Amino acid sequence: MTETTAPQRSLPLSGIRVIEFTHMVMGPTCGMVLGDLGAEVIKVEPLGGDSTRKLLGSGAGFYPLFNRNKKSLAIDLHSEKGREVVHRLIATADIVSENFKTSTMHKLGLDYAALRQRDPRLIYVSHKGFLPGPYDHRTALDEVVQMMGGLAYMTGRPGDPLRAGSSVNDIMGGMFGAIGAMAALMQRQQTGLGQEVESALFENNVFLVAQHMMQFATTGKAADPMPQKISPWGVYDVFSVKDQEQIFLAVVSDTQWAIFCQAFCFADLQRDARLSSNNLRVLARHWLIPLLRERLADTPASELAALFEANGLPFAPITDPQHLFDDPHLNATGGLAPMTLPDGRETRVPLLPLKLDGERLALRLDPPKLDEHGTELLLSLGYSVDEVAAMRDEGVLLAKSPMPVADAA
């Protein structure tokens, strides 16, 4: 893997060095965000590598997505020499990020209290299942906090809680860790001191369902699960149409209702006093939606999409994730960047969903092979070639050998 050769713009976090001890999704997401924004992110891995390198199924995409724009150093942290190397590396850093158990970091001498003694300017980002409190001894996963935090209840049907279709708490927890790190960098400019930033899955999940909590606080009525919710809009549904295709259609204002009726020649519905306002249409949904389903059932989804788009009405095709690689908008706007996977295969990857000064934040480094930058980093810390070779022989560092190529099947 080589760094991209395209001219590089000056990025907001250029010159910031991040050392991360992370695995799975939440911690790596924090480093990915900081790396995409220009920080040099060094991923410290065990000699066997981050376990997400080997995951199957829905976890197979974790490593390549959340570990781009990073460098890799594989080292035995349980050895005295390994910890000496890492402490020397941390001495060059602005930020340390981790998502292991607090006891693990403490045993290694890599907890915030220990590192702060060495460098009071250090910013330490800790990603956990729970913020300190009665639950912080529990082992948390995204699905665990979705179940206990109300999100699975809201997503599923009554009596059938269902996790969201993405690692939403892991990803957002890492994003909030990155936001906290950037806030701490700003405050360090004022105080000269670093601080600990803490982000957690459960508290992130509570933030996601806060709108439903506040619905109860405001109305006194508990929120219904999304499949059973009372829609605030008269037309806001998935419709099955010609050839078993599906499309989401929405009409969310009185102006849109008039446009919709005119575009589809539904003059009778436009004249119907029972449908003259959005709130009346909401009350009429029990007969209005079946009627619209019947009228639209023989229309191709492409024709419905064209009519809705031409008239400025909200619509959406029902898209599987793999088809987004061919999405014309993403491809036209640079939303997907070429990437080389650690096994050498070529693909494309979604970038952060933002622009700075009119530009997307480019992929600068492909997700690294295990220990791809180990020698380079140790030489930069002042170790000699012979010292590095000796540590490899002793098993402190990874013994150089070809990375096994994963079965493309």
Residues of the chain predicted below pLDDT 50: 1-6, 402-409
- pLDDT at position 8, please? 58
- pLDDT at position 400, please? 78
For residue 3, CA distances in Å to 6, 14, 223, 373 come to: 9, 15, 49, 12
Edge-to-edge strand list for the sheet holding 246-251: 235-240, 246-251, 315-317
Cα separation of 133 and 112, whole Å?
18
Is residue 123 a contact partner of residue 194, using CB atoms and an 8 Å limit?
yes
Q: Exposed, middle or buried, 401 (CB in 10 Å: 0-12/13-18/19+)?
A: exposed
DSSP H helical segments within 91-223, as ranges?
A: 102-107, 112-118, 142-148, 151-155, 168-191, 201-208, 210-219
- pLDDT at position 234, please? 94
Question: Which residue, among 124, 131, 140, has the nearest Cα to 24 in the 3D structure?
Answer: 140
- pLDDT at position 139, please? 93
- pLDDT at position 401, please? 53
Span 244-289, pLDDT tens digits: 999 999 999 999 999 999 999 999 999 999 999 999 999 999 999 9
Cα separation of 154 and 229, whole Å?
9
Residue 368, Cβ neighbours under 10 Å: how many?
22
Question: Which residue, among 249, 231, 229, has the nearest Cα to 239 in the 3D structure?
Answer: 249
Single-letter amino acid, residue 106: H
- pLDDT at position 231, please? 82
Q: CA angle, corner 167, sides to 151 and 224, nearest 5? A: 15
Residue 160 DSSP label: B
Q: In order of start, what are the domains of the chain with their CATH numbers?
A: 17-209+327-394 (3.40.50.10540), 231-322 (3.30.1540.10)
Coil, strand or helix: which one is 235? strand
- pLDDT at position 405, please? 41
Coil, strand or helix: which one is 248? strand
